[in-house]
Amino acid sequence: MPHEETRELIDTHCHLASKRYVNLESVCEQSRSLGLSHCISQGTHPKDWETTLAQAREKPDFVSACLAVHPSDCTEVDEEQWRRMKKLCRENRLAAIGETGLDYYWDAPQGWDETAYRSRQRDFLERHFELAHELGLNISLHTRDKAGAGSACFEDAFAIARQFPTVRPVFHCFIGSKQQAERIFEQLDGMVSFTGLITFKRTEEVQAVAAWCPEDRIMVETDAPFLSPEPHRGELNIPGRVRYVAEKLAGLRRVSIEEISRITSRNAHLFFRISA
């Protein structure tokens, strides 16, 4: 039986084109049974752009598509592929541009030094913002620094975002500080989205941010097939498990799951321009 109290939940960030899903119909059925009404699927590599678009065309009531180049893949995408992606974005209905961003967590790939690798990521992020501005779309951002290495990744992405005031960003899988969140809201008119990480132990800092955030600035997501929340940590994640993220968020904010469903779904409809 569907979970009636969460049937309006929207997973604002997942990857349905992942090869880890061997039976997409089963994934969608399980997700609906958990109370999911819609999901935003991110096509982040040339190999999954067309698949992501096809899934959204086949299931328009359940899937909306975003396209981009993931920062970790920027060295694998040449100019011809970039032009192909722009053409796909211009010719198809998208919820946003994404997932793009900056990732300073992983070392530069073979043949690249760290300076050149980060510079290419920043160049691609600016290109994505330009495309989002052209198409009148918002943007889904990935930012990840090495543990204990400061916030260079966030600062660089923030500086680029400030150059494009017409494009609203959502910082997906947000694990930053309250001060960073305040800057996103006040200077970028942006959003933050929380994943199953808030259900894990020793994530008190981001839990505190999730409890504090203004209600018109928050969304929930799974990043499926990754980051499965408790009580399914370590398993293959599915979009329907956004239910557990929402339940944790409701507890942190001391409101009902129905209220969190209403708030986060309303925000997702507005940000991603999801049809009723």
Render each residue's pLDDT in the chain as its tens digit; 276 residues.
344 455 589 999 999 999 999 999 999 999 999 999 999 999 999 999 999 999 999 999 999 999 999 999 999 999 999 999 999 999 999 999 999 999 999 999 999 999 999 999 999 999 999 999 999 999 999 999 987 556 999 999 999 999 999 999 999 999 999 999 999 999 999 999 999 999 999 999 999 999 999 999 999 999 999 999 999 999 999 999 999 999 999 999 999 999 999 999 999 999 999 976
How many Å apart are CA 118 and CA 188, to the nearest integer? 22
Q: What is the dihedral of CA 252, 244, 222, 117, to 10 degrees?
A: 50
Q: In b/e form, how buried is each residue of 94-122, taking b as 16+ CB within 10 angstroms?
A: bbbbbbbbbbbeeebeeeeeeeebbebbb
Assess contact for 252 and 202: CB atoms under 8 A: no
DSSP secondary structure string, the chain? ---GGGTTEEEEEE-TT-TT-S-HHHHHHHHHHTTEEEEEEEE-STTTHHHHHHHHHH-TTTEEEEE---GGGGGG--HHHHHHHHHHHHHS--SEEEEEEEE-SSPPPTT--HHHHHHHHHHHHHHHHHHHHHHT--EEEEEE--TTS-SHHHHHHHHHHTT-TTS-EEESS----HHHHHHHHHHH--EEEE-GGGGSTT-HHHHHHHHHS-GGGEEE---BTS-PPTTSTTSPP-GGGHHHHHHHHHHHHT--HHHHHHHHHHHHHHHHT---
Domain 4-272 top-level CATH class = alpha beta
Among 158, 168, 224, which Cα is nearest to 195's? 224
The predicted pLDDT at position 2 comes to: 44
Task: Please name which of 78, 53, 74, 75 lies closest in space to residue 63, comparing C-alpha atoms.
Answer: 53
